[in-house]
Chain A
Amino acid sequence: MNRKVIFEQMGWFNPATAAVARGEKAVANYDEDTVTMAVAAAMDCLDGLSRDGAGGLYLASTSLPFAQRQNAVIVSEALDFPAGVRTADFTGTLKGGTTALLAALDAAGAEGSGPFLVAASESRVGKPGSSQEHTFGDGAAALLVGRENVIAEFKGSFSVSHDFVDYRRLNEERFEHGWEERWIREEGYGKIIPEAALGLAKKYRLKPGDFARIVIGCPVAALVAGLGKGMGARPEQIQDNLAASAGDTGTALPLMMLVAAIEQSKPGDKILVLSYGNGSDALYFEVTPEIEKRRDRKGISGHLPLRADFTSYGKYLVFRDLIPLEVGIRGEEIAPMAMSVLYREGKSISALVGSRCRTCGTPQYPPQKVCVNPACGAVDDMEPYRFSDKIGKLASYTGDNLAFSLDPPAVYGLVDFKEGGRLFLDITDCQLEKLKVGMPVRMTFRRKYADVRRAIFGYYWKATPA
């Protein structure tokens, strides 16, 4: 969304926000949250990789949907990770993304450990009329941390922690409180980030010139150049902080910038990563020749062009649940979700795992006991079969104006997979007019429905044009 869309609506109230009403902020779709965005980043990261032997999954965010019910395990299940993994949420601070990464590096670095997936995901809502409403952006990044096939080798870190109360928020609060912005700039970003950077340089006897790229996880674009200069870095070493293209993605920001930096690097390049939030973590990596084998990921450079213009401030308020909405009787009607069914069906709902008949080879969904192939009909001869990473083709679809959707019409259709199997799915991130029978679609993990009265978000997979 172009920030002017916000300023046009709210600038009358806070003219000072003109200073930040430039560039674009990434806005999550109505069916996305930090859990689904973490899954999306992780699916890109894991594309084609086996889940066997995974050691754990760490999720960092200050805007997780659940205060109780671990968010990381929802991501882990959606990715079809085995049950024998360590999962944890890292929350409460904007430097949580790098802290989760350090924790994963520690854990996965241990002899015998499987790889850890680290995801940082953020979708904060700025209060209408605030500068945060303009600057905050939604985004996520995921990194797989392990001992084999390493594309960027972790070389060392240095952390500092300070109870520097720039922004704060209580559990039951939706919007944060801040202290004076000039103080945060000068005493916060301006001193704490350099403290970590200099600490790391001293510890490992490095100079700023040793790094090909320096990720300064400071969301204020105007400060980044000065911080770099203060450390003695040249402008071309400083990684773009995405302020103009995505916005302040909080815990995800330094990891998103790291992903972008790796994409732009060649083997041998050293990358310094600096996060910010109640202190700072400094980490440094060296890119290896393995990077050439992983250039197929969409990453930051692949995802930024997939943008769609978000032109309606009213729609933004609805998507982020900032205004009451007449949803009508169909919107009010929410069938209770049976937790026992969710647990019993497990991966079939969370990871879109169906079954494949061992007798005739037909993939099918949901997993069947009696083979759906009318010429087969074998009983209890199935193996698990994951659809979430397969490309399907749209066999038919509709845009339903009668069904409730926060973004009408509700678009859904039947999806056929080349290897076999047919699923009946919602279709998201699309325009009805651009759909065609036969077009390729991929699977994306989304929030299917929200039942806030019962503290339930129903997650499931949807199709989206591939």
Chain B
Amino acid sequence: MAKGIKNEVAIIGMGCTRFGELWNKSGADLIIEAFQEALADANMDKKAIEAVWFSNCFEEINFGKSGIPLPRTLKLPFLPVTRIENFCASGSDGFRNACYAVASGACDIALAIGAEKLKDTGYGGLPDFGTVMGSENRMLFPNVTAPGGFAMTATAYFAKYGLSAEEGKRVLSRISVKSHHNGTLNPKAHLRREITIEQAMKAPIVAWPLGLFDCCGVSDGAACAIICRTDMAKQFRKDPVYVKALQIAATSGEELGYQDWDITHIKTTRQAAERAYKEAGITKPREEISMMEVHDCFSITEFVTYEDLMISPEGKAREDVESGFFDLDGRIPCQPDGGLKCFGHPIGASGLRMIYEMYKQLQGKADKRQINNPRIGLTHNLGGFPSMSVVSLVIVGNTL
């Protein structure tokens, strides 16, 4: 029986750039900025780093393939560097690999860093998937985009639970309004303005039934974490954050090829959540989790994730949304930093950005958006589409 990662490793330093349409910053600028913040946070010299995992999805755009661009940028001394690409789950998967390296004893201190420079593509939204999904899929799949892929889950959910388009869009809009509010409190967020439910509901349709305010920002940014063995952590700081669970689940292919999935949830989230709760020793997630950053690439993703994480009962997420359960002053604040929705979504960086917010909250350093005495934070990082996804869950806490 594997003993799992719980309390084996600790985060001792993190960095995260402002996210946004950073026309005047290169990918290298972003990497350096996030890394320097983390080094200062850990009170550490870069020579202490022993191994690196570099997360980046669209390597064609800015960095180029392989792990090489990262050490070239930071001038790291011939370290082991691995590039991780796992769609939008790349950031937290890099973190997972770095944690495992430390836990295995292969090294004492590792760096996980994620960066993405999306705004040099010329695209509004993500670049087309045509060239990245393989030549066979290009011949078989519709010309799917990210909002279209997730919109099908909204259509199916509305149909299953008898929500009219108006009712469904209203509840999804409530989620975006909440995240926009949180984003205004975060100086590093991409989108920093309040919106109303009416604005969200009347916004132009991107992929029916999802409108503009159901979609996250497409941003540039970088984030990173320095990880060490738990027993070393206090050498670096008094308030390290401990890793409680690291789980990742990739589709078996059955969602897209077998009919037992009803499209109203995300199977990989449920699988990863079950394993993560077990690993962390959490039996009642609705009561034990203090806060979350989930992969709200679209409002519908956040909505069904409430149920997939077993926080809201199946079919009942609407009640929790409407009662303010996930608001910043609610029982389990979700997206305290604004989420992908407003902090933005530089793909390779997002998973680490989520952990960054949990880390700052657990240390009581989240300023205007500080949650009262959090103990356990969960991040949920999803790559792909509901019909073929990879989901990475990280659970962290501030006590052993």
Q: Which residues of A contact B (CB under 8 A)?
A: 329-330, 333-338, 341-342, 345, 349, 362, 364-366, 368, 372-374, 395-405, 409-410, 412-414, 416, 420-422, 424-426, 432, 436-438, 448-449, 458, 460
Contacts and interface: CB of A to CB of B under 8 A. Distances in A.
B138 A400 contact: no
Please give me the 9 A-B residue pairs with the lowest Cβ-Cβ distance, nearest first.
A400-B148, A412-B142, A398-B151, A437-B159, A396-B156, A372-B257, A335-B130, A399-B208, A396-B152
Contact of B131 (A335, A409, A422): A335
Contacts of B141: 424
Interface in B110-142: 122-123, 125, 127-128, 130-131, 135-136, 138-142
Contacts of B254: 372-374
Given A341-B136, A364-B257, A374-B258, A424 B207 contact: no
A413 B152 contact: yes
B303 to A, nearest CB: 15
A397 B156 CA distance: 8
B142 A425 contact: yes
Contact of A337 (B125, B138, B147, B205): B138
Contacts of B263: 395-396, 414
Nearest to B204: A401
A414 to B, nearest CB: 6
9 contacts: A330-B123, A368-B257, A372-B254, A372-B258, A398-B151, A400-B148, A403-B207, A416-B259, A438-B159
B135 A424 contact: no
A349 B136 CA distance: 9
B387 A414 contact: yes
Contact of B142 (A336, A401, A410, A438): A410
B138 A329 contact: no
Size bin of chain B's contact surface: 35 or more
Given A333-B130, A402-B145, 18 more contacts: A333-B131, A364-B257, A368-B257, A395-B263, A396-B156, A399-B205, A400-B147, A400-B207, A402-B207, A404-B143, A410-B143, A412-B142, A412-B144, A414-B263, A420-B259, A421-B257, A424-B144, A432-B208
Contact of B156 (A334, A402, A412, A437): A437
A409 B259 contact: no
Contacts of B207: 398-403, 409
Contact of A398 (B130, B152, B159, B253): B152
Contacts of A448: 139
B79 interface: no
B104 interface: no
B252 A374 contact: yes
Contact of A401 (B130, B143, B205, B260): B205
A396 B155 contact: yes
Nearest to B262: A395
Contacts of B260: 374
B256 A424 contact: yes
Contact of B258 (A364, A396, A400, A402): A364
B153 interface: yes
A425 B141 CA distance: 6
Interface in B58-100: none
Interface string B204-218: 111111100000000
Contacts of A342: 139
Nearest to A412: B142
Given A345-B136, A374-B254, A422-B256, A409 B144 contact: no
Given A398-B152, A400-B147, A402-B207, A366 B140 contact: yes
A351 to B, nearest CB: 13
Contacts of A395: 156, 259, 262-263
Contacts of B122: 329
B139 A422 contact: no
Interface in B167-217: 204-210
Nearest to B208: A399
Given A333-B128, A402-B145, A397 B139 contact: no
A366 to B, nearest CB: 6
B142 A414 contact: no
Nearest to B130: A335
Interface string B239-262: 000000000000011101111101
A426 B144 CA distance: 9
A400 B209 CA distance: 9
A88 B204 CA distance: 49
A82 to B, nearest CB: 22
A345 B260 CA distance: 26
Contacts of B210: 398
Contacts of B148: 398, 400, 402-403, 410, 412
A395 B138 CA distance: 22
Contacts of B153: 396
Contacts of A335: 130-131, 135, 138
B135 A338 contact: yes
A365 B125 CA distance: 30
B155 A397 contact: yes
B153 to A, nearest CB: 7
Interface in B330-363: none
Contacts of B156: 395-396, 437
B258 A403 contact: no
Interface string B30-59: 000000000000000000000000000000
B142 A372 contact: no
Contacts of A425: 142
A460 B136 CA distance: 12
Contacts of A329: 122-123
Given A333-B128, A397-B152, A402 B147 contact: yes
A329 B252 CA distance: 33
A422 B259 contact: yes
Contacts of A373: 254, 258
A424 B253 CA distance: 13
A84 to B, nearest CB: 25
Nearest to A416: B259
A362 B138 CA distance: 25
A424 B206 contact: no
A460 B140 contact: yes
Given A330-B128, A333-B128, A364-B258, A402 B206 contact: yes
Contacts of A374: 252, 254, 258, 260
A432 B209 CA distance: 11
A400 B141 CA distance: 14
Nearest to B257: A372
A271 B140 CA distance: 44
Contacts of B128: 330, 333, 404
A398 B208 contact: yes
Nearest to B160: A437
Contacts of B154: 398
A333 B60 CA distance: 15
A374 B153 CA distance: 22
B256 A349 contact: no
Nearest to B127: A333
A409 B208 contact: yes
